[in-house]
A and B are shown apart, each in its own frame.
Chain A
Amino acid sequence: MRQLHALFKREFFAYFRSPVAYVFIVIFLMASAGCTFFIGELYQAQQASLATFFDFLPWLYLMLVPAVGMKLWSEERHTGTIELLLTLPIHLFEAVLAKFFAGWAFVCLGLALTFPLPATIAYLGDPDWGVIATGYLGAFLMAGAFLSLSCLASALTRNQVVAFVLGLMISFLLVLVGWGYFTDILATVLPAQLVDLVAALGVMPHFMTVRNGVIDTRDLSYFFILIDLSLTLTIEVLQRKKAS
């Protein structure tokens, strides 16, 4: 575990040695604030609630989180440093976890830097802090889910662009299956029980429940199981690549 901690620190601070990290955070912050104020019309709606902010977050994460995850393994494989990494006295799963947690911590840093938004609505009115807390919890879990999928995508290819597109597509698929409009279309061709089953695999219903202020162990289980499965598959893929 000491190695995991050391690798985590190395990976996390490595983000800030490149301008990309700062660009990512600035774009995320401006996009989220812009969507909330201009498209979501937060001020005009006159409601002390971050519902519009959390409504846009899945779509922002869909674009930005694969950008964080795309280089996790594909860059290592492309430059050949993965062999060096795997000769270190560290298990593969520790390496996977360390990179994943570092990426997750980086994305969550960006999320934490949206603090002016809750501060703004606290200044303007009397928000429901329970709902805001669970909204941020949902965002934290969703970021982890998308990142774990991007991690898997990154392990599958040496090319970062391919890793980005693959990560985006897998994440988009999981968003789509839980999206109301899509399930309405599915309901015209599939039986209701099957539609419900498909929808339960989607990210959105689970995120929306947490976002609305309810902590349900089913939703927490969904996210943890998804992250667990994605990371386990990542380890499996890397082991196969290593063996071959």
Chain B
Amino acid sequence: MNFKSLPFSPRLLGLAAGFLGLTLLSNQLFYRIDMTDDKIYTLSEGSLKIVQKLEEEVTAKIYVSKSFKDLPPAFKAHGRRVEEVLREYAHHAGGRLKIEVIDPQPDTDDEVWARKYGVRGFPSPRGESAYLGIVFIAGDKEHALPFLDPRKEDLLEFEISEGLIKLQRGGLVKLGIYSANYIGTTDSQAVDEQGNRTERAFLSRMKEFYQVEVFQNPPAEISSDFKVFMVYQPKDVDEKFQYALDQYVLRGGRLIVVLDALSRAEVSLTSNMDAPPAPLPQAPDQLPTLLKHWGLRFHHDSIIGDPLRSTRVNMVSYAFDYPFFLTLGEEDFSRDHMITASLKQMQWAESGWFEALPGSSSLRFESLVRSSPQAGTAPIGVDGLRDHQNLIQQLSEQRGTKDLAVTLQGRFVSAYPGPPEGSESQAPHLSAGEGENTVLLVADSDFMQEAQALEAFEYGGQMAQRPRNDNISFIINALAFQGGATELATIRSSGRVQRPFTRVRDLQEKAKEKWKAEEDRFAEELRSLQTRLSELKKVPAEGEEIVLTPEEEAELRKYREEELKVRGKLREVRRSLREDIEALGHRLLALNLLFVPGCVSGLGFLVFWRRGRRTR
């Protein structure tokens, strides 16, 4: 055969085969490096374990409205990230996780199926429903993540891993919460139709992962259906409820106890900032029988002040460093326990503290969260936010590390010989647990509140909230740990995809400060002008006419002119806020569009001009 007459040579065929072979080989033997700062494409150890232990083939259908042009860039970026992270899961799943990406268009079967699966649409600027959710399907089991909120991007890996666990479990874990103060109800939604929050943010977050039942009164008996039970800010707890908790733990229930020496949230609700400061009431001794039996003392009569962990507090007209609001860092968390190993920062407020009573219990005491060695205590009485210097002066001279969150682990023994008088418990009395159990105790309740855990930010023209630290992650990790999904507790809060223009934000803040000062000044001027104007424009009695003297008329005219000027100045101040930011944008645009192209053009002209001169 004459190969030269062929349009191709055997060598070319060999090359093509080689190309294909190399491509196939490189797909089998490969290595990846995650170059991102926060390693956002590297799954945590917990997620890897979850996906590697998948027992059956799982299909993950991602419903994401990619083709909607008017959705915010942050939404689209999050949609891409969801897909990328899921592909990372699939990569480690050994073929047991398949990904399907569906862009449900309005009024199509895809949209119908999305809704059937439970993926929630949200209104796009055009008014149509846009989607960003996942459905996990394995055989006849399904579990949907209805909406992956871009504002919670740090929890994306946790949500996906939790979703895979729930798919395999076949349902949500039941969590019961008792709180003496209102935090929401079992059925309440996060916000009502007017946009007012109806429940605490942490409760909303828990409801995303658990089937939550809220108790407004201490239950007589705690059902074993609750995988985890949380006691949050208990008050006036009697022996019957302590007995119910005691028996719940002995039956293998997982307990989380959140106490507080001083609930700032409660003080904010009940205090009157206009009235003279009154001494704050001391918190009662909470769960005394149980804690003493467990070999633990909760110091409820004083709060921790840690000068090395102070938080800057901004009041209306001044700011100060407040050592009773603790900003805790990695060095304060146990790196050995899965609840705290991945945490970076938390903020606690006017916390109590725990002390192990040695020799009084066989339970193993482990500290998860501690203060610095320079922590002291101050008695409860003075409201530190209204008179911080006074409270700081009362900080004890004796300093040392204080335990703020602890676990007690071991075989629990009942604190009661039998049901106390009046107990409505139906279950037979247990004197000891069958196996080992763990109780988690936390010495502050405010860390779970919005003021400590969340920060407001503007999103799509509206104000929204996002975690400002790992406070919520701590409690979610704690629930995951107590709920038996220990892998989840190793999943760290992942890095953020959002990297805002901090310089523009600083400009906005500076301009707002300036604007605020100017606005307050002009507003004050306006108020005094308007007061004077209303004095001049006397309200006539019925049937009477106003008669102003010429001097009064002239003064009225003068004040009206002043009022117009001041309003104009206010408008200018507000416009200048935007102008500074726009001017910066224009300068940067000019730099990028014109500077280097201008230099290159100039260089080109120079080169050819000199060449032209030389040839002449």
Which chain A residues have a beta carbon within 8 Å of chain B's beta carbons?
16, 19, 21-23, 25-26, 29-30, 33-34, 36-37, 41, 43, 45-49, 51, 113-117, 120, 123-131, 133-134, 180, 184, 200, 212-218, 221-222, 225, 228-229, 232-233, 236
| Given known A-B contacts A221-B23, A229-B15, A236-B9, A47 and B500 have beta carbons under 8 A apart | yes
Q: Is B601 an interface residue (CB 8 A)?
A: yes
| CB <8 Å contact, A131 and B30 | no
Interface bin, chain B: 35 or more
Q: When the two chains form the complex, which single residue of B36, B103, B502, B600 contacts A128, counting CB atoms closer than 8 Å?
A: B36
Binary per-residue interface labels of chain B (401-429) against chain A in the complex, 1 for a CB within 8 Å, 0 otherwise: 00000000000000000000000000000
B residues near A16, Cβ cutoff 8 Å: 607
Instruction: List residues of B (15-60) whose CB comes within 8 Å of A's CBs.
Output: 15-16, 19, 22-23, 26-27, 29-38, 40-41
For the complex, give the distance between the alpha carbons of A47 and B11 in Å. 50
A residues near B331, Cβ cutoff 8 Å: none
Q: Is B608 an interface residue (CB 8 A)?
A: yes
| CB <8 Å contact, B589 and A30 | no
| CB <8 Å contact, B592 and A217 | no
B residues near A216, Cβ cutoff 8 Å: 30-32
| CB <8 Å contact, B591 and A218 | no
| CB <8 Å contact, A215 and B588 | no
For the complex, give the distance between the alpha carbons of A198 and B87 in Å. 18
- Determine how close the nearest CB of chain A comes to the CB of B109; give it in whole angstroms: 13
- Determine how close the nearest CB of chain A comes to the CB of B457; give it in whole angstroms: 11
Q: Is B503 an interface residue (CB 8 A)?
A: yes
Q: When the two chains form the complex, which single residue of B38, B500, B502, B600 contacts A22, counting CB atoms closer than 8 Å?
A: B600
| CB <8 Å contact, A46 and B608 | no
Between B23, B30, B34, B499, the greatest number of chain A beta carbons within 10 A of the residue's beta carbon is seen for B499
| CB <8 Å contact, B37 and A128 | yes
For the complex, give the distance between the alpha carbons of A33 and B603 in Å. 20
| CB <8 Å contact, B600 and A29 | yes
For the complex, give the distance between the alpha carbons of A58 and B140 in Å. 43
| CB <8 Å contact, A47 and B73 | yes
B residues near A212, Cβ cutoff 8 Å: 36, 41, 84
Nearest-neighbor residue (CB-CB) of B83 within chain A: A180
Closest 9 CB pairs of A and B: A22-B604, A130-B35, A221-B26, A213-B36, A48-B499, A124-B501, A33-B592, A43-B585, A215-B33
Nearest-neighbor residue (CB-CB) of A124 within chain B: B501
Nearest-neighbor residue (CB-CB) of B23 within chain A: A225
For the complex, give the distance between the alpha carbons of A115 and B73 in Å. 24
Nearest-neighbor residue (CB-CB) of A135 within chain B: B35
| CB <8 Å contact, B603 and A225 | no
B residues near A19, Cβ cutoff 8 Å: 604, 608
A residues near B500, Cβ cutoff 8 Å: 46-48, 125
Identify 11 residue pairs between A and B in the complex whose beta-carbon atoms are under 8 Å apart, listed by A's number.
A26-B597, A30-B597, A46-B504, A116-B591, A124-B501, A125-B500, A125-B503, A131-B35, A212-B41, A225-B19, A225-B26
Q: Is B122 an interface residue (CB 8 A)?
A: no
Known: A43-B589, A212-B36, A221-B30. 20 other contacts (CB 8 A): A26-B597, A29-B596, A30-B593, A37-B593, A41-B73, A43-B501, A48-B499, A113-B596, A115-B596, A120-B592, A124-B502, A128-B38, A131-B36, A134-B35, A214-B32, A215-B32, A215-B33, A216-B30, A225-B22, A236-B12
Q: When the two chains form the complex, which single residue of A33, A180, A215, A217 contacts B593, counting CB atoms closer than 8 Å?
A: A33
For the complex, give the distance between the alpha carbons of A213 and B502 in Å. 22
| Given known A-B contacts A130-B36, A214-B35, A113 and B600 have beta carbons under 8 A apart | yes
For the complex, give the distance between the alpha carbons of A221 and B12 in Å. 20
A residues near B300, Cβ cutoff 8 Å: none
| Given known A-B contacts A19-B608, A30-B597, A45-B73, A184 and B34 have beta carbons under 8 A apart | no
Nearest-neighbor residue (CB-CB) of A26 within chain B: B597
Between B84, B502, B592, the greatest number of chain A beta carbons within 10 A of the residue's beta carbon is seen for B592
Nearest-neighbor residue (CB-CB) of B77 within chain A: A51
Nearest-neighbor residue (CB-CB) of A243 within chain B: B4
For the complex, give the distance between the alpha carbons of A184 and B105 in Å. 13
